[in-house]
Amino acid sequence: MNGITRAMFGVLSCVAAFAVHAQAFPNKLIKIIEPAGPGSAVDVFARQLIPGLTESLGKPVIVENRAGANSAIGAKEAARAAPDGYTIFHGNINNALNDLLLPETCCRLTEAFIPLTRVTSTPLVMVVHPSVPAANLKEYMALAKARPQYLTFASGGLGAITQLLGEKVKSAAGIAVREIPYKAIGAELPDLIAGHVMTAYLAPVVVAQYIQSGKLRALGVSSATRVPALPNVPTLAEAGLPGVEAAGWNGFFVPAGTPPEIVKRLQVETAKALNTPAMKNDALTQGYEVGGESSEEFSAFIRAEIVKWGKVIKDSNIKLE
């Protein structure tokens, strides 16, 4: 066997090995690494897909929470995993924003991972504790102008979408509101309910029950149109801040190097689990949109988001300290 023949044989052997591996996939438990805390909006979305994925893949699918560092801790762990389809990373917009701010290249969404598909996207609701003497956004802005730095807003930390939306609101309204950073998505909720922080930007699925019970007051939603789950809550534009829009999104990723056949299988099964009548009805009632796009479409979407929020980061002079 000459050198060229041996090389061709080696390539064909690798292709055959990948094909066999893909055909056998999965043959053991699949783990979803969730970089947000239990009970947060993105954690809830991941867990909603577990029954459908477990049934269609024929193997158990579990969620492991690895919260912290604006979702970077979970990303680092997932990026180190074997590229075999048995570790899925449930990345979110904060991971894309980390790519703009952090010097580390270990876990960039479009380099260390292959995007599978978007899971959901949702606008954020601007909510305040009932103790804040503002019945609507215009009163909130007037209060902030009368008492600079008196009001506070919770963020998920440096570069989090909640920080950027908070900065965008401050800039558009011309107000000074003090930021209170938290270490993970959803970590601010207990302090918000208790009144230790006055303002937050959270998903409808997280805050709807608290708005309805009177434990929180909604001032606006960061979408172009009202959310069916909260029909009485105006958009931020309707409330007095035109042009202020933002959506939190999340999706599934696998480590770079995962065989294309496995990428396609996981994308197809995730899209199937997303596009059920139950999931679509839940999306309507809870105020979010389901994904299911192809890997290529999701990749293009992420690149566009990085460009969009990169401008906000630059304009707000947000940088590592």
* Predicted confidence (pLDDT) per residue in 13-39, tens digit: 444 444 455 568 999 999 999 999 898
Task: Provide the CATH number for the domain around residue 290.
Answer: 3.40.190.150
Q: Verify that 91 and 167 share a domain, yes or no.
A: no
**Mean of the pLDDT values across residues 78-83?**
98
Q: Verify that 108 and 255 share a domain, yes or no.
A: yes
Strand-pair partners of 117 = 252
**pLDDT recorded at residue 6:** 54
Phi, psi for 227 (deg, rounded to 5)? -90, 125
Between CA 235 and CA 164 the distance in angstroms is 17
Q: Verify that 158 and 190 share a domain, yes or no.
A: yes
**Mean of the pLDDT values across residues 47-59?**
96
Q: Verify that 202 and 274 share a domain, yes or no.
A: no
Q: Verify that 258 and 114 share a domain, yes or no.
A: yes
Strand-pair partners of 158 = none
Report if residue 161 sits inside a domain.
yes
pLDDT at 176 over 60: yes
**pLDDT recorded at residue 312:** 82
Between CA 99 and CA 40 the distance in angstroms is 22
Q: Verify that 169 and 86 share a domain, yes or no.
A: no
Between CA 121 and CA 268 the distance in angstroms is 18
Report if residue 320 sits inside a domain.
no
Pick the last residue of a domain from 239, 263, 280.
239
Report if residue 321 sits inside a domain.
no
**pLDDT recorded at residue 272:** 97
Q: Helix 260-274 and helix 3-24: axis angle, to 10°?
A: 20
Report if residue 244 sits inside a domain.
no
Domain with 138, as residue range(s), is 125-239
Phi, psi for 258 (deg, rounded to 5)? -65, 135
Q: Verify that 89 and 108 share a domain, yes or no.
A: yes
Report if residue 253 sits inside a domain.
yes
Report if residue 152 sits inside a domain.
yes
Q: Verify that 106 and 130 share a domain, yes or no.
A: no
Q: How many domains does the structure of the chain reveal?
A: 2
**Mean of the pLDDT values across residues 82-94?**
96
**Average pLDDT value for the chain:** 90
Q: Verify that 259 and 114 share a domain, yes or no.
A: yes
pLDDT at 9 over 80: no
Q: Verify that 133 and 117 share a domain, yes or no.
A: no
Give the DSSP H/E element, type plus range, for residue 275. Answer: none
Q: Is 179 helix (H, G, I), strand (E, B) or coil?
A: strand
How confident is residue 184, by pLDDT bands cut at 50, 70 and 90? confident
How confident is residue 286, by pLDDT bands cut at 50, 70 and 90? confident
> Which pLDDT tens digit goes with each residue over 154-165?
998 888 899 999
Pick the last residue of a domain from 239, 260, 282.
239
pLDDT at 4 over 70: no
Between CA 289 and CA 299 the distance in angstroms is 18
- Length of the chain counted residue by residue: 321
Q: Verify that 95 and 156 share a domain, yes or no.
A: no
Task: Provide the CATH number for the domain around residue 183.
Answer: 3.40.190.10
**pLDDT recorded at residue 3:** 53
Between CA 253 and CA 270 the distance in angstroms is 11
Report if residue 133 sits inside a domain.
yes
Q: Verify that 260 and 231 share a domain, yes or no.
A: no
Report if residue 196 sits inside a domain.
yes
> Which pLDDT tens digit goes with each residue over 234-273?
999 999 999 899 999 999 999 999 999 999 999 999 999 9
User: 96-110, 121-135, 168-182: which has the minimum mean pLDDT?
Assistant: 96-110
Residue 216, amino acid? L
